[in-house]
Amino acid sequence: MKKPIIALTPLVDQEQESVWMLPGYLEGIIEAGGIPVMLPLIKEMDEIKEVVQRFDGFIITGGHDVDPKLYHEEKKDYCGALCKERDEMEMVLIPEIIKQDKPMMGICRGYQIINVCLGGSLYQDLDKEYKLTEVHRQPAPYDQPSHEVMILKETPLYHFLESESMFVNSCHHQAIKELSSQLLPMAYSSEKLVEAFYMPNHHYIVGYQWHPEMIYKKSVENKKILALSQQMVDF
């Protein structure tokens, strides 16, 4: 049986002028039966179209904050470091993945920029703009749960896990403020932050605010989430 080849958007170290990848993404895909490939930083439409055609699925990874100008806000002092190269690439790549109806999973920053790309917005910093009662920026180790999320019934995540809740890790200071009208929520935190979404009427387009690639070795639920990233699942 042919293994699915999964493309990942690169992490960027601007000081070292390099692109790289956390091993959890690669090892998680391999363990789930796929072959991971890190993409270069590209943004030309012809190249993006060809990339989307060639790969079986995509993971939009974590990383820098998304530039607030993409959701029509001025950058606040408490917004974190930005990465213009990733913003430019992913704002072209994401619509093409959707157009070609390929599986796509967004994780943390990836989750956020899918929402922004589809017209949603973000809190630039939760401590400044939202009243938190749970830890969303946990200290290491990141393979430990930080808080619980409530899974909505009649959603793909509930169908896959057959559970109304799960514990997740949490390594973010931004989050979805307004969810795109093209997306539907799958899970919430106790503070009513959207923690997971899906895009109806497409093959497996989902996003998670937490990091399944960091916790899947200790979490059956997150291991299953990574495995599902490689399948064409109708919503």
Tell me the catalytic residues: 108, 211, 213
Residue type, 101: D
Q: What is the Cα–Cα distance from 131 to 154, expressed in whole angstroms? A: 28
Q: In what order do the strands lie in the sheet with 57-60?
A: 35-38, 5-8, 57-60, 104-107, 205-208, 194-198, 184-188, 147-151, 165-168
Listed residue (9, 201, 222) closest to 114, CA to CA: 9
Residue type, 121: S
**Chain centroid to CA 60:** 6
Q: What is the Cα–Cα distance from 70 to 59, expressed in whole angstroms? A: 20
How many residues can be counted in the chain?
235
CB of 111 closer than 8 Å to CB of 208: yes
Both tokens of 73, joined, read 């806000």
Tell me how crowded residue 3 is: count the other CB atoms within 10 A of its CB: 13
Q: Angle CA(35)–CA(39)–CA(43) in degrees, nearest 5?
A: 150
